[in-house]
Amino acid sequence: MTAVSLILLRIVGLVVLAYLGLVLLLAVFQRSLIYLPGKATAAELAGFAQQRRMLPWTNAAGLRIGWKRPYTPGPATGAVLVMHGNAGTSVGREYLADPLQEALPLDVYVLEYPGYGDRPGAPSQVSLLAAAEEALALLGDRKPLYLIGESLGTGPTTFLAGKAGDRIAGVLLLVPYNRLVEVAAVHYPWLPVRWVLRDPYPADEWLAKYAGPVAVVLAEEDEVIPARLGQALFDGYPGTKRVWIRPQAGHEDAIHQPAEWWSELGEFWGVPRRSASPSRP
């Protein structure tokens, strides 16, 4: 073997080792790339909540699992459970609660994920789905009950929709994905993400088990979750569905909608007007 061949062989070896090192780093630190939890003390969160007219939402053990905002203009005709995106905390989702309650007579419950805010635990697919199941159980027999998922939260939302079946009166997916592994493949096309991703969130499989109305909002210029992935989720759903595509909108743009749009969503969902006073958990 010539000296040149030896040099080339060593270069190839170094490149392979570097690549394997990157794959190992991805495997070890992948959840720090997926989950970006906001952290705050209980006192700070209480202050934020007061500003946003949010109340603590606790489980049977007294642990705060999120925040709720009752519909105050009159008796609510239903409730909505919100599962937010991968950053921040649940108390900062007034941009959803404000226009929603301006348009629809619904109580709003926003789930906090383990490891977010001051909630104990660490975020993962397993822990988020367990938290979502607990939240659903705490809402008891609230009817009608609607689900809203935002970005990363659209995965747990489709999971609950498929699991709870006809208990869920309607679903809204804001900038969703069909599978989180497909999102990872877009951002890291040079890495074998399909082999190493531990939290794949197969939203398309979960949503296929649901049979109610599904609304989807896509951002044409989404830089985080390409619109084609949300479109694939929408196209694959066989039930009653409607999609809104925001032209020239980015990921965050499509999440913020005015009250008029929420009224339109309420018509699609068939949200009843103020005619009953369901009990609140």
| DSSP-derived secondary structure for 222-257 | -SSS-HHHHHHHHHH--SSEEEEEETT--HHHHH--
Residues in Cβ contact with 148 at an 8 Å cutoff, skipping those fewer than 6 apart: 80, 81, 82, 83, 96, 157, 171, 172, 174
Domain boundaries, the chain: 35-269
Q: What is the model's pLDDT at position 187?
A: 82
CA distance 53 to 122: 27
Region 179-201: mean pLDDT is 85
Does the pLDDT value for residue 19 go beyond 70?
A: no
What is the third-level CATH fold of 35-269? Rossmann fold (3.40.50)
Residues in Cβ contact with 194 at an 8 Å cutoff, skipping those fewer than 6 apart: 181, 185
Q: What is the model's pLDDT at position 7?
A: 62
pTM comes to 0.89
- Amino acid, res. 174: L
Per the structure block, which two tokens stand in for 17? 């080792």
Let me know: does 220 contact 194? Beta carbons within 8 Å: no
Let me know: does 201 contact 180? Beta carbons within 8 Å: yes
Region 262-281: mean pLDDT is 75
Does the pLDDT value for residue 277 go beyond 50?
A: no
Segment 39-65, tens digit of pLDDT: 999 999 999 999 999 999 999 899 999
CA distance 187 to 179: 14
Phi, psi of 174, rounded to the nearest 5 degrees: -95, 120
The mean pLDDT of the chain is 89
Does the pLDDT value for residue 70 go beyond 80?
A: yes
30-33 contacts: CB < 8 A, separation 24 or more? 30/196, 30/197, 30/198, 30/199, 31/122, 31/123, 31/124, 31/198, 31/199
